[in-house]
Amino acid sequence: METVRDDVVLSLVRGNITLEKTDAIVNAANSRLAGGGGVDGAIHRAGGSGIMEACRRIGGCPTGSAVITTAGNLSTRYVIHAVGPVYRDGRHGEDRLLAEAYRTSLELAIKTGLKSIAFPSISTGAYGYPIDKAAEVALETVTAFIKANKGLSLVRFVLFSDNDLVVYEKALRKL
């Protein structure tokens, strides 16, 4: 699914984020930037040791924030490591922290002069964030950001499963 919002292409696809050729891909990272499973592990494996070396130099990243590194062996130029919240019950600032992870990633992309960025569904794997709630937060945050900021031409969400894609498509139609 693809739409244009404020001169920015907003795209939803099912796929493997490590194969994206956007200027940057976003990694659903942990606060230690230590690699892990899911999207994080896939990006580190595909990108090689250069990404981990850059993460070690940075040292860490608080929940709700993001940092940018080299992309190592990936087809993209940069990896933006965004740390989303672990979902507890929705009453511990999870929505705010998730929105901040997306917003900080977008700010880093513009600050770096990037035109295109690809996101996974942050916090919906091991961190347990319900996909329907996460999709709403992600898409509302991204659409508000691109309305208020110029510089990007493409924001893509690369979803891991057919179900995730359907949930994101439904959330986008509601906006």
Give the DSSP H/E element, type plus range, for residue 79: strand 78-82
Q: What are phi and psi of 2, to 5 degrees?
A: -145, 140
Candidate list 6, 7, 23, 40, residue with the active-site label:
40
Q: Compute the residue count for the chain.
A: 175
User: Is 164 designated active site?
Assistant: no
State how far the Cα of 23 lies from the Cα of 53, in Å rounded to an integer: 20
Q: Which two tokens stand for residue 167?
A: 């949930």
Give the DSSP H/E element, type plus range, for residue 49: helix 49-58
Cite the active site residues.
Answer: 40
